[in-house]
Structure 1
């Protein structure tokens, strides 16, 4: 069990998901060892909501950090859910390909993968040169 899971489970309870009723929590460890959390925040104008992963990344960046060492995402789903495509790109902005990604459910199922496995062929700063 990832030690990030309790933090992701706890912040999931704070999700604002009145429309989908699908609460998601994320916790990440920065390279400093500090843990940052985020939960999904829906909006009646659906595209204006934010994902749990984006919230955790924003908290990390707001604290002055720029490198993810590990991330955990948890939802009350039958099987572990992967981050959406946009969040995969956001994670890849701050995490190397080998960084562990733990996907979990509230009932205890877990799957471990990596950033590179979630987003092969990621668009990165090297493409901007």
Structure 2
């Protein structure tokens, strides 16, 4: 599978915008859509087997389960049935697939107001 690079390279969302800009953006989204969670999904640093998503920002209803959200991201990555990927919250934790995005937001929301996920293939385990 060919690796697709994004136009802005490997620069993470947190590095593309200042903290103040991110905080203002998330506050605006949360006030405009109180039943939805602003989510950032990026490729795990160093991931080489999975392609990049076309976009990183998602507005997810708070009652969506992690299992459903994972399926949505899997479809956007256009993975074959034999390809595995992991969706990590805040770059470090696997989550319960029955947990809702709202529950994860309460536990793992970043100080800028976004909920961050990264995705990786199985090779990320044991990587330095």
TM-score higher than 0.5: no
Q: TM-score scaled by structure 2? A: 0.32
Report 1 or 2 for greater relative contact order, CA contacts < 8 Å, sequence distance ≥ 6.
Answer: 2
